[in-house]
Amino acid sequence: MRTLVAGVTGVGAKRAVAVGVVVAAALALVTVGPLSLPSGVDARTVGLMLVLAFVALSCRGIALRGVLDILGTRVGPLRAIGVFLATTFLGCLAPCGKAAAGPVNGLLVSSATEARYEQSLAAVVTVDLTVSVVGLTLALAGLGGTVRPDPRALVVLPLLALLVLAAWRVRDRLVEVVGRCVAVPVRLVGRVVPSKTPPSTESVTERVEGVVESVELVARSPRRLAGVVLFVAVGQVAAAACLWLALDAVGSAVSFPLVLGVLPLSGIGSLVPSPGGTAGVEAALVGLLVSFAGVAVPPASAAVLLYRTATFWAPLPVGGLSALALGGRDAISAARGSVPETVA
């Protein structure tokens, strides 16, 4: 009984802290925010940017719902959006940033839905891969009419496509190799944590095989996958519109196709081992705007700060509340460095 009360009290305390963060952020926005905004950026502009950011995030949440539906797990649209916002929050807790967020987000999706962990991880990987492919396609389309393509890039892209195709053909062998490679750090962490039993190499390989099988199932549903791609594309356009509006508000108007082309390339900054790619994404985006669009550093920095506030920092407290409400305690523990039993 004491354990149950302690658990409920702990969850209540975490929710109280999360609510406090939201209230503090709202008070800061009301009291300090309008005074620190650049000239030309009014409340209407900020509101429109927040709407566009919500559309972008919601589209990716609906895309996650579509992939889960292909895998046989039905999730409501609002719950799917909440799950995606929660995965964004957990990405900030992972010690190595986005590179380590995938397995943790898979655990959260599994906790919030009835999907198995392997299916949940496959859904997260599929959405991330779709975002990358759609973003690269839009980048080529957006920059194609404004920037002269490098002939070396025209050679690299087909080579990458062939490499991916070759890897897919020998995926069964790759599963064994990946399973053995992943098992090493997992077993080491399991030995460090006394209360967890290190998983065997065979069990890790079986989980990797389950993820690959789920991805294969998604690939065999091209029509339903097309709907996922459509929602991801709409979300990418909404995010680009948010950045375009921020640039226009600070007095640095840039053509929308150019913004649509630059934005996906800034994703390389998310590989920086920092919460949510903080500093890496901002630096990459400012550099791209200066290089490709000719925007000066000060207005580019101001526009990027506005954009990241609307699309990343503002939704972050909501994502934290969603993670707690959707039963993501194991996922939060995993993101903070421990190994949940559901994974091990």
Can you give the pLDDT at residue 339? 43
Residues 120 and 246 in one domain: yes
Kindly indicate the confidence band of residue 97, based on its pLDDT and cuts at 50, 70 and 90: low
- What integer best gives the mean pLDDT of the chain? 77
SS3 annotation, 78-147:
HHHHHHHHHHHHHHHHCCCHHHHHHHHHHHHHHHHCCCCHHHHHHHHHHHHHHHHHHHHHHHHHHHHCCC
In a domain, 241, yes or no: yes
> What tens digit of pLDDT does each residue of 202-211 get?
666 666 777 7
Domain range spanning residue 256? Answer: 63-147+222-335
In a domain, 322, yes or no: yes
Q: Which helix (H) or strand (E) holds 154?
A: helix 151-169
Residues 78 and 139 in one domain: yes
The mean pLDDT of 313-322, rounded to a whole number, is 90
Q: Are 143 and 292 in contact (CB under 8 A)?
A: yes
> What tens digit of pLDDT does each residue of 58-76 get?
999 999 999 999 999 999 9
Position with higher pLDDT, 52 vs 293: 52
Residues 15 and 120 in one domain: no
Residues 261 and 131 in one domain: yes
In a domain, 185, yes or no: no
